[in-house]
Amino acid sequence: MQIKAIKTRKFLPPQDNLWELLSNIKSLKENSVVAVTSKVVSIAEGRCIKLADVSKDELAILEADKYIPRELSPNGWVLHTLKNNMLIASSGVDESNGADYFILWPKDPKASAKKIWQFLKEKFKVKNLGVIITDSRLVPLRRGVVGIAIAFFGFKPLKDYRGKKDLFGREFKMETSNMPDSLATVAVLEMGEGSESKPISIIEEIADLEFIQKEYEAKTEDDLFEIPEKEDMFYPFLSSVKWKKGGSGI
């Protein structure tokens, strides 16, 4: 696998031109994945609110599907939220690298990923291309953040080992690899979290990634990428606290 992050100019809230920013990509090979940080996608969509106009928690609660009040977090550090079937801090609302603005997630990340995919496919005349929109998240019982894909397009999200055998002939029953989040993790590591100004990363030579030319559709429930909350292995933890209903979004 080869990963290269691309340095760009500052992308400026409250709105800027994403397609001009993507012109920093000079070439794309077949079977590449382009990672774009959610922050520049959101700024391009004008998803910016002035810091002086509202508190972060107010915004996060409006954007959340469900949330746990901040006072239940150790030292009040984090507002835990569920948004778009993901456990994320503050619904993805963030002020870092936002000048005087809070930056929200894109309104429809999946649709945004598809638009970027269509733009790059047309520009570089490639057949097989993947796109992921990335953010960062905390991992339980670990310090520091890692990447997460809040949306993807152009490839199948699961590398399936079920029915195959391990080194000693044991058949896998449940094993699948999460490709979007794995790729987001390496991309975010290259792009950085601070003042690097590298909002785009190109990933090449990815083993066993299956490209497709449309939105991924699971054939069975076992092939779904997103797991319903009550069927998730972490449901005992998720259900052990009293969540509050979030708002309708902005």
Average pLDDT score, the chain: 96
71 and 160 within one domain: no
Q: What is the pLDDT of residues 47-106, one digit of tens each?
A: 999 999 999 999 999 999 999 999 999 999 999 999 999 999 999 999 999 999 999 999
Higher-scoring residue by pLDDT: 249, 86: 86
Is there a single domain that holds both residue 181 and residue 138? yes
* For range 198-220, the mean pLDDT: 96
**Domain for residue 121, yes or no?**
yes
Question: Could you say which of 35, 70, 104 is where a domain stops?
Answer: 104
pLDDT of the residue at 216: 97
Q: Which residues pair with 66 in a beta bridge?
A: 82, 245
Give yes or no: residues 98 and 190 share one domain.
Answer: no
Residue 178's domain is classified under what CATH number?
3.30.1330.100
In a domain? residue 245: no
The contacts of residue 178 (CB under 8 Å, 6+ apart) are 157, 158, 225
Residue 152 in any domain: the answer is yes
How far apart, in whole angstroms, are the C-alpha atoms of residue 49 and residue 37?
18
Q: Which of 86, 104, 122 is where one domain is finished?
A: 104
**C-alpha to C-alpha distance for 175 and 197, rounded to whole angstroms:** 37
Q: Does residue 249 form part of some domain?
A: no
Distances (CA, A) of 180 to 88, 154, 183, 194: 16, 11, 5, 22
Residues 154 and 72 in one domain: no
Q: For residue 207, what are the CA distances in angstroms to 35, 203, 210?
A: 17, 11, 9
pLDDT digits (tens, 9 = 90+) for 104-151: 999 999 999 999 999 999 999 999 999 999 999 999 999 999 999 999
Residue 134 phi, psi dihedral angles, 5° rounding: -110, 155
Based on the domain organization, do 100 and 185 belong to the same domain?
A: no
The amino acid at residue 243 is: W
8-63 pLDDT, tens digit per residue, is 999 999 999 999 999 999 999 999 999 999 999 999 999 999 999 999 999 999 99
Q: Are residues 35 and 137 in the same domain?
A: yes
- Of 66, 89, 104, the one marking the end of a domain is 104
Residues 233 and 120 in one domain: yes
The answer on 200 and 182 residing in a single domain is yes
Asked if 167 and 218 sit in the same domain, the reply is yes
**pLDDT bracket for residue 248 (50, 70, 90):** confident
Domain span at 82: 48-104
137 and 184 in a single domain? The answer is yes
Q: Is the domain of 59 the same as that of 170?
A: no
Q: Is residue 160 part of a domain?
A: yes
E strand segments, the chain: 2-6, 32-37, 48-50, 66-68, 80-83, 86-89, 101-103, 129-138, 145-153, 158-160, 176-178, 200-204, 244-245
> Does residue 72 sit in the same domain as residue 182?
no
Q: How many domains does the chain have?
A: 2
The pLDDT, as a whole number, for residue 230 is 94
Q: Are 111 and 15 in contact (CB under 8 A)?
A: no
Global pTM value = 0.95
Query: Residue 250: its pLDDT value, please?
Result: 86
Q: Which residues, at least 6 apart from 119, have a Cβ–Cβ distance to it below 8 Å?
A: 19, 22
- Of all residues in the chain, the percent with pLDDT exceeding 90 is 98
Average pLDDT of the segment spanning 176-190: 97
Give pLDDT, residue 89: 96
